[in-house]
Chain A
Amino acid sequence: MNDLLVKIEALLFALGRPLSRSELIKLVPCSEAELAQALAQAPQDRGVILVDDNKVVELRAAPVAAELIEKIRREEYAREVGRAGQEVLSAVLYRGPLTRSEIDFIRGVNSSQTLRTLTMRGLVRKVPNPKDSRSFLYETTTELLATLGVSRAQDLPEYAEVREKLSKLEEAYRQKEAAAHNESI
């Protein structure tokens, strides 16, 4: 393997994200022609392969392992979502989209591991929070709603009622906290 290709692979691995051709030319650094020549030499018969769509270059697992990887991932996440999973899903469905800390608050326990599992299973997804660019919101995926047989969250059983009750509970909590805070001053 030529030196340039070795460097490109190492960068893709260590940075852990796809790099565009123009980024690579700047980072390595090398000329466009050198880059093209190096990429053309990338071997395709190893466990990790270079995927190159002429714009972005990325490291991926070799296709021969695809079936194996899918089987292992499915096994890893095929367990029941459990009570914690049901509660998080229900919070996101009835009161969502919510940030991780809002979900933690409603449940009274840390839910990050549960959220991770639900995300990996494609039941919820992370979307940027328009109010705060540092945090994310969790919302349910279209696939989950489709599996539940509803076309939108509003069609969940007693959606409006549950949503209102949850927001009232939250409001009552905040008021009590504020009152206690004022009293202690």
Chain B
Amino acid sequence: MVPIDIKTPVYEGPLEILLELIEKRKLSISDISLAAVTDEYIARVNALPQLPVDETAEFIALAATLLLIKSRSLLPTLELSDDESRDIKELEYRLALYQLIKEAARGVGAALRDPYLYEGENPEPAPLFIPDAAVTLSSLREAAEALMRGFPQSLALPKVEVKKIMSLEEMIDRMSQRISSAFTMSFRQFSGLDKAQGVEARHGVIVSFLALLELVKQGILRAQQEEDFGDITMESDRISTPTYE
């Protein structure tokens, strides 16, 4: 098999680019430094290759906030809405946090190369003798009884023979004969549900119903049921039993 070679390009995130621009100028994070790098950030974003939509949105949202900061630094009279002020504060906060984490990550990377601290293997403790007053000769005898009662049974399944009640073919035959002689008849009557009861009746109904479905499918019968679980009226267009190969 030819191995599938997947290369995922490593993009710099918007915060990463921004921080890089600020650090390059040896500035600290403030609205002044952010205003100063705005143009450069936008130039960098424009130069980026095609990005997935959601990532592009991140880059653009940040650019918008930067432009806002820059506008304010140029026009001190510019009034900011609450949302806008919050966006700016949030950006400064996120950037500061990112800077901190980036710094800390270097330490984590170095620590990963430190020697491993092995965990201890636990020897099994020596048992203490702690009896239970509820364990008595009679309770143990009872428990033995419970074990015998609940002893696992073999999983071998009992075999049940399925008895033949009436074949579907016989039933279809009988039904089409009855229908063609009577034109319409009730399913309740035909299946014997009006007379018989119990298991026998249920089996009769099942076979009759299958036969009914088959005859409807073959276009010999039309069936109508007025209401859910109500009786089904079956009728035939043809008087004689059709012959089919």
Contact = CB atoms under 8 A, between A and B. Distances in A.
A96 B134 CA distance: 21
A150 B137 contact: yes
B227 interface: no
Contact of A106 (B122, B139, B151, B156): B151
Contact of B132 (A10, A85, A108): A85
B135 A81 contact: yes
Contact of A16 (B121, B136, B141, B148): B121
B130 A122 contact: yes
Given A16-B120, A157-B138, 9 more contacts: A85-B132, A86-B134, A86-B142, A90-B141, A119-B127, A120-B127, A121-B128, A143-B131, A157-B141
B143 A87 contact: yes
Interface of B: 118-123, 125, 127-132, 134-144, 146-148, 150-156
A83 B135 contact: no
Nearest to B145: A162
A6 B142 CA distance: 55
A11 to B, nearest CB: 10
Contacts of A149: 137
B123 A91 contact: no
Contacts of B121: 13-17
Contact of A122 (B123, B127, B138, B152): B127
Contacts of A162: 141, 144, 148
A106 B150 CA distance: 9
Contacts of B140: 86, 89-90, 93-94, 148, 156
A81 B134 contact: yes
A177 interface: yes
A120 B122 CA distance: 14
Contacts, number: 127
A107 B144 CA distance: 10
Nearest to B152: A108
B152 A77 contact: no
A86 B136 CA distance: 9
B219 to A, nearest CB: 45
Which A-B residue pairs are the 3 nearest by beta carbons? A16-B121, A180-B156, A176-B154
Contacts of B155: 177, 180
A144 interface: yes
A13 B151 CA distance: 44
B139 A86 contact: yes
A147 interface: yes
A172 to B, nearest CB: 8
A156 B128 contact: no
Nearest to B150: A108
**Residue among A106, A179, A183 facing the most chain B CB atoms (10 A cut-off):** A106
Contacts of B136: 148
Given A14-B120, A148-B137, A156-B141, A107 B147 contact: yes
Contact of B152 (A70, A147, A157, A173): A173
Interface in A77-116: 77-78, 80-81, 83, 85-87, 89-91, 93-94, 105-108
Given A90-B147, A180-B156, A78 B137 contact: no
9 contacts: A17-B123, A83-B143, A89-B143, A90-B140, A90-B143, A121-B128, A162-B141, A162-B148, A166-B147
Contact of B147 (A78, A106, A144): A106
Nearest to B133: A80
A42 B237 CA distance: 107
A70 B156 contact: no
A119 B118 CA distance: 28
A141 interface: yes
Contacts of B142: 86
Contacts of A173: 151-154
B45 to A, nearest CB: 53
A141 to B, nearest CB: 7
B195 to A, nearest CB: 42
